[in-house]
Amino acid sequence: MAVSGSLVEKNMSLSSRSDSFSSDGRDLETVPETGCLSIIVLGASGDLAKKKTFPALWNLYRQGFLQSNEVHIFGYARTRISDDELRDRIRGYLVDSHGASTDDLPQFLQLIKYVNGGYDSEEGFRLLDKAISEHEFSKNSQEGTSRRLFYLALPPSVYPSVCKMIRNFCMNKSDLGGWTRIVVEKPFGKDLDTSEELSNQLGDLFDEKQLYRIDHYLGKELVQNLLVLRFANRFFLPLWNRDNIDNIQIVFREDFGTEGRGGYFDEYGIIRDIIQNHLLQVLCLVAMEKPVSLRPEHIRDEKVKVLQSVLPISYEEAVIGQYEGYKDDPTVSDKSNTPTFATVVLRIHNERWEGVPFILKAGKALNSRKAEIRVQFKDVPGDIFRFCSGVKQGRNEFVIRLQPSEAMYMKLTVKKPGLEMATIQSEMDLSYRQRYQGVTIPEAYERLILDTIRGDQQHFVRRDELKVAWEIFTPLLHKIDNGDLKPIPYKPGSRGPAEADKLLEKAGYVQTHGYIWIPPTL
Ligand SMILES: NC(=O)C1=CN([C@@H]2O[C@H](COP(=O)(O)OP(=O)(O)OC[C@H]3O[C@@H](n4cnc5c(N)ncnc54)[C@H](OP(=O)(O)O)[C@@H]3O)[C@@H](O)[C@H]2O)C=CC1
Ligand SMILES: O=C1O[C@H](COP(=O)(O)O)[C@@H](O)[C@H](O)[C@H]1O
């Protein structure tokens, strides 16, 4: 291992997150979780596993969060491959992670074993259990201290059968300690009913504290920063409300299309793929009230409350689009009504946000790739500078750039340097690459997998949160599924349908013409 430190130190580091508590209320600072750790990636042959799950495990290993004398990793899937073939498939996705040394890579790869089997096969899961148990015995794990983490990198259609198999054949063997945890990927259902059905099926098999519904946006650095920003800074406390803020946009843009995932995407569409989960989770953190403490349940209680205050979506405040050429993908139906773009206005009926539109916008095959939160403030009352530059100056905006190039900047009006009393748009800028030179920002999945090992559910979606999220979007989704709302065609590489910009304007957003934020260079 390149990272030094005793086992005891690393065990402590696994449990040393300040102010954090496990879902069952144990203070993680004082309860080091030790014992053999088995991480089982189901769907190991798939896209997510190779691109995100294994690289995240590798980065945790490299940094010493996973110790070779206590961890073992298992891949499980139907594809018939050997241990070495799985290692060869993922190797290429590990080498460049964080540009770090790969001296440890062979040792890491040797920790990975592959078990082949079906997702409803008793034989397959018995084999898997045997492999895990052998590893636990080989590590002389004291009975009851073994930890089993099952990561379902699989289509949700197989979650119920896989969970049943785990429950019946692969649970942690003792109630003396240790645990079994299940990580499930989105989409959790397709609408309120299917999501509730899935929740019931999983809920019959596992306690809520064993279930980790992952939404990788909750693992992004600047999403995690939202609570700190809002509640640790006096600047923001008095301004963050309807008296000062005119509108808030939460935007996701990708400059590529469905890229080989057309079959999956066509069943779900952009609202289920991005807006109902990733953007809505961000909205919760932007709009919720201050939690009683940082305990996961306190935070998630506030998220549920704000979601419950969202009014039914007005169909006049939704624009959907589909990029031209989307249906050329052979896995997409010629008659597809699936949106690849959507702008939806949400309105929150509470004291803080009454009248402030939250504009959620997401699109594939657009002219840029970025995700950001844009808080636009109201005009300055009694503006005495209105004649200074011949043009009305833009509104103040606070922008949190989630990606790429993490940054926060405040757009504001200043005196234009020079002899004249003229005004100009400028910014106060905190660009992470410049401010935190040499600091590597962890990948979302890395952070979230570490949280599951630590038993910290703060950044995972609770069942009641999920239910309200589906309640908000299900009527609109059914309208689209029934063909009552048709996507407007847009050109790949464009801003999306012009109607979306008109909706933005109608909702109150005022664009500052002629101003473009340029990320600072070193
Ligand atoms: N890929 C991504 O970027 C992201 C994916 N996700 C979510 O993660 C999960 C996995 O995604 P991804 O890896 O892309 O999916 P894949 O389509 O690559 O599926 C993963 C594995 O599941 C098995 N599989 C595929 N289809 C079926 C099926 N119909 N029935 C049974 N098994 C099947 C295959 O393994 P085998 O045949 O060997 O058993 C496949 O290798 C999904 O829930 C997805 O929504 C979330 C965010 C991003
Ligand atoms: O969940 C998903 O997210 C990705 C975008 O993730 P990002 O971290 O790169 O912003 C998106 O491409 C994919 O369609 C969706 O399923």
DSSP string, 28-65: TTT----S-EEEEEETTTSHHIIIIIHHHHHHHHHTTS
| Active-site residue (options: 72, 278, 459, 478) | 278
Q: pLDDT class for 263, splitting at 50, 70, 90? A: confident
Residue 514 burial class via C-beta count within 10 angstroms: exposed 0-12, middle 13-18, buried 19 and up: exposed
Task: Quote the percentage of the chain above a pLDDT of 90.
Answer: 78
Neighbours of 316 (CB within 10 A): 9
Structure tokens at 8: 């005891």
Query: Which residue minimizes the CA distance to atom 14 of ligand 2?
Result: 273
pLDDT score, position 9: 40
State which ligand 1 atom lies nearest to the alpha carbon of 46: 41
Ligand minimally distant from the alpha carbon of residue 282: 2
Helix and strand counts by DSSP (H, E) for the chain: 16, 15
Distance (angstroms) between ligand 1 centre and the Cα of 456 equals: 25
Contact 454, 15 (CB under 8 A): yes
- In angstroms, what is the C-alpha Rg of the chain? 24
Residue 229 burial class via C-beta count within 10 angstroms: exposed 0-12, middle 13-18, buried 19 and up: middle
- Residue 278 among the catalytic residues: yes
d(CA 328, CA 252): 24
State which ligand 1 atom lies nearest to the alpha carbon of 156: 43
Ligand 2: list residues with CB < 6 Å: 216, 254, 273, 371
pLDDT score, position 100: 64
pLDDT of 25 over the 50 cut:
no
Best residue among 274, 282, 361, 445 to mutate for probing ligand 2's pocket (most ligand atoms within 8 Å of CB) is: 274
Distance (angstroms) between ligand 2 centre and the Cα of 250 equals: 15
Distance (angstroms) between ligand 1 centre and the Cα of 506 equals: 40
Contact 84, 127 (CB under 8 A): no
Closest alpha carbon to 219 in 432, 441, 445: 445
Distance (angstroms) between ligand 2 centre and the Cα of 298 equals: 28
- Does ligand 1 lie within 6 Å of residue 44's CB atom? no
Convert the pLDDT of each residue in 113-127 to its tens digit: 999 999 999 999 999
Neighbours of 178 (CB within 10 A): 22
pLDDT score, position 467: 98
Average pLDDT over residues 291-301: 96
Query: Which residue minimizes the CA distance to atom 16 of ligand 2?
Result: 273
Convert the pLDDT of each residue in 167-216 to its tens digit: 999 998 766 678 999 999 998 999 999 999 999 999 999 999 999 999 99
pLDDT score, position 1: 33
pLDDT score, position 384: 86
Convert the pLDDT of each residue in 379-430 to its tens digit: 999 888 877 767 778 899 999 999 999 999 999 999 999 998 888 999 999 9
Closest alpha carbon to 397 in 261, 512, 269, 513: 512
Convert the pLDDT of each residue in 479-488 to its tens digit: 999 999 999 9
- Does ligand 1 lie within 6 Å of residue 96's CB atom? no
Query: Which residue minimizes the CA distance to atom 5 of ligand 1?
Result: 48
The larger pLDDT score, comparing residue 7 to residue 48, is at 48
Distance (angstroms) between ligand 1 centre and the Cα of 214 equals: 15
Ligand minimally distant from the alpha carbon of residue 153: 1
Query: Which residue minimizes the CA distance to atom 13 of ligand 2?
Result: 273
Task: Quote the percentage of the chain above a pLDDT of 70.
Answer: 90
pLDDT score, position 178: 85
pLDDT score, position 385: 85
pLDDT score, position 515: 79
pLDDT of 144 over the 60 cut:
no
pLDDT score, position 518: 78
Contact 20, 454 (CB under 8 A): yes
Average pLDDT over residues 226-254: 97
Reduced to 3 states (helix: H, G, I; strand: E, B; else coil), residue 129 is helix
Q: pLDDT class for 522, splitting at 50, 70, 90? A: low
d(CA 354, CA 24): 35
pLDDT of 508 over the 90 cut:
yes
pLDDT score, position 175: 61
Best residue among 47, 188, 214, 216 to mutate for probing ligand 2's pocket (most ligand atoms within 8 Å of CB) is: 216
Between 2-6, 18-22, 89-93, the lowest mean confidence (pLDDT) is in: 2-6
pLDDT score, position 15: 40
pLDDT of 80 over the 90 cut:
yes
- Does ligand 1 lie within 6 Å of residue 76's CB atom? no
State which ligand 1 atom lies nearest to the alpha carbon of 48: 13
State which ligand 1 atom lies nearest to the alpha carbon of 187: 45
Convert the pLDDT of each residue in 434-454 to its tens digit: 999 989 899 999 999 999 999
Distance (angstroms) between ligand 2 centre and the Cα of 134 equals: 37
pLDDT score, position 165: 98
Q: pLDDT class for 154, splitting at 50, 70, 90? A: very high
- Does ligand 1 lie within 6 Å of residue 120's CB atom? no
pLDDT score, position 98: 60
Q: pLDDT class for 161, splitting at 50, 70, 90? A: very high
Strands 318-323 and 341-347, by their bridges, are antiparallel
Distance (angstroms) between ligand 2 centre and the Cα of 235 equals: 32
Distance (angstroms) between ligand 2 centre and the Cα of 274 equals: 7
d(CA 194, CA 391): 53
Q: pLDDT class for 10, splitting at 50, 70, 90? A: very low
- Does ligand 1 lie within 6 Å of residue 456's CB atom? no
Q: pLDDT class for 370, splitting at 50, 70, 90? A: very high
Q: The pTM is what?
A: 0.92
Mean pLDDT, the chain, integer: 90
State which ligand 2 atom lies nearest to the alpha carbon of 261: 14
